[in-house]
Structure 1
Amino acid sequence: MADVGDDLQYDVMVENALRGVVRQALAQVSERGLPGDHHFYITFRSDHPDVQMPEHLRERYPREMTIVLQYQFWDLEVGEEGFAATLSFNNRSERLQVPFDAVIAFADPSVRFGLQFDAGEEDASGESDADAPAQTVEQQNEVGAQDQPAPKEPGDENNVVTLDQFRKKQ
């Protein structure tokens, strides 16, 4: 019998299910290519221990990095635990491997869809990245890595699924 203090961790269950949405979307693109105007912005923790990326990119993006899967990406491979893709950075092909638990945001601006995940890390002030406000991603013409997530569009907060409503308040 379970301990009375054990809680069902719905926030973890929901986050895992939503990461499954990211995995399924990437798997479909891996098999069939990007349909129509679809394209993805994926922000991930570059300091996650299982992220594999060239050192010069890790130096440039020491904490997090946003990639765009639209025009200049190749060899997208999707597994149960993560994905890998070759992307173009300043006309140079680089291979990245990203576990799904390193992903902190996923967006498809063509259909105004976005997900934001708990980064699972606290900064020096003790605040979790989960406390950051939700952001939506608007379409940009740039391809490759972005220094910062795209700016927030006023009034579009309802387009991003956040897990804050499921988190236990402390």
Structure 2
Amino acid sequence: MLSANLQGKRHMSGSIDYGNLMHRAMRGLIKEVLTDVAADGLPGEHHFFITFDTGHPDVQIADWLSDRYPGEMTVVMQHWYDNLKVGDEGFGVSLNFGDAPEALFIPYDAIKTFVDPSVEFGLRFENQDSDEDEDDAHGPEIVRDEGLPSEASSKASKKDAPKDAEVVSLDSFRK
């Protein structure tokens, strides 16, 4: 009976949306990691570079930050962060910008990349526009040793900056 229901659901939609399923799973991973960090702090040398869409309707950042970073912004959670609160839709954190703390709220679905260079781990979320042809849609990627954008909002030492990226695209597994 269960398999008949699943089969019927698959036929009704036409196909399994693996891209969105992967996005949801990857965002769940980010939520779990941030939940652990909120409870116990950053372990060892771990730190995060998080790039997000500043134009996302649910992003909450100071006006001067959205003016300075109108498309996307990369924040670094490493030496100083405060008030990390993790929720179902996103997370809030206070970060230091030029010795001035600023509160931010970043929804998970605004995140473009999540990188922990201490262990050469990264996730990259590609947009899937509904008017794109299915064969041309880009799904999420699991990234090893992801390169950083040229402008990070917090300073990181050069030793933390990853070298060449090795990208494993899920598109290569599609038929």
1:15 aligns with 2:23: yes
Contact 1:84 1:98 in 2 (8 A): yes
- Once the two structures are superposed, residues 76-126 of structure 1 have per-residue CA deviations (whole angstroms, 9 ceiling, x without a partner) of 00011100000011111100001000001001111111110124569xxxx
Aligned AA (1:136) = E
Choose the corresponding residue for 2:67, options 59, 62, 66.
59
Aligned-pair Cα RMSD in Å: 3.2
Tell me the CA shift for residue 165 of structure 1: 3.8
CA contact (8 A) 2:120 2:162 kept: no
Q: From the superposition, tell whether residues 145 and 55 of structure 1 become closer, same or farther in structure 2 (CA, over 3 Å).
A: farther
Alpha carbons 2:62, 2:102 under 8 Å: kept: yes
Instruction: Report the 3-state secondary structure (helix = DSSP H, G, I; strand = E; otherwise coil) of the residue aligned with 2:35.
Output: helix
Q: Quick one: structure 1 residues 129 and 46, their matched pair in 2 at CA, closer, same or farther if it must change by over 3 Å?
A: farther
- For the pair shown, the structure with the greater C-alpha radius of gyration is 2
Q: Which has the higher contact order (CA 8 A, sep 6+)?
A: 1
Over the matched positions of the two proteins, sequence identity in percent amounts to 38
Partners of 1:92 and 1:116 lie apart in 2 by 29
Q: Distance in 1 between matches of 2:138 and 2:51?
A: 13
1:125-150, Cα deviation, whole Å (9 max, x unpaired): xx98879xx67147xxx87279xxx9
**Counterpart of 1:164?**
171
Q: In 1, Cα distance between the equivalents of 2:162 and 2:137? A: 20
Higher helix share: 2
Structure 1 segments of 4 or more deviating over 3 A?
A: 1-5, 119-122, 127-131, 161-166
8 Å Cα contact 1:121/1:129 also seen in 2: no
**Structure 1: gaps (5+ residues):** none
Choose from 85, 89, 103 the match for 2:111: 103
Structure 1 distance, partners of 2:154, 2:137, is 27
State the 1:15 CA deviation: 1.3
Point out where structure 2 has 5 or more consecutive residues left out of the alignment: 1-7, 131-135
Query: In structure 2, the residue corresponding to 1:49 is in which secondary structure?
Result: coil
The amino acid that maps onto 1:164 is D
**Structure 2 equivalent of residue 90 of structure 1:** 98
CA distance in 1, matches of 2:22, 2:139: 14
Q: Measured at CA, do residues 42 and 55 of structure 1 come closer, stay the same or move farther in structure 2, by a change above 3 Å? A: same
Q: Sort the Cα spacing of 1:103 and 1:28 in 2 relative to 1 into closer, same or farther, 3 A.
A: same
Q: Measure the CA separation in 1 of the matches of 2:21 and 2:138.
A: 19
Q: For the residues of structure 2 that align with 1:94 and 1:103, how far apart are their CA atoms?
A: 18
Q: Say whether residues 1:28 and 2:36 are aligned partners.
A: yes
SS of 1:58's equivalent in the other structure is helix
Query: Does 2:143 correspond to 1:136?
Result: no
Candidates 43, 59, 76, aligned match of 2:84:
76
TM-score, normalised to structure 2, is: 0.75
User: Secondary structure of 2:104's partner?
Assistant: strand
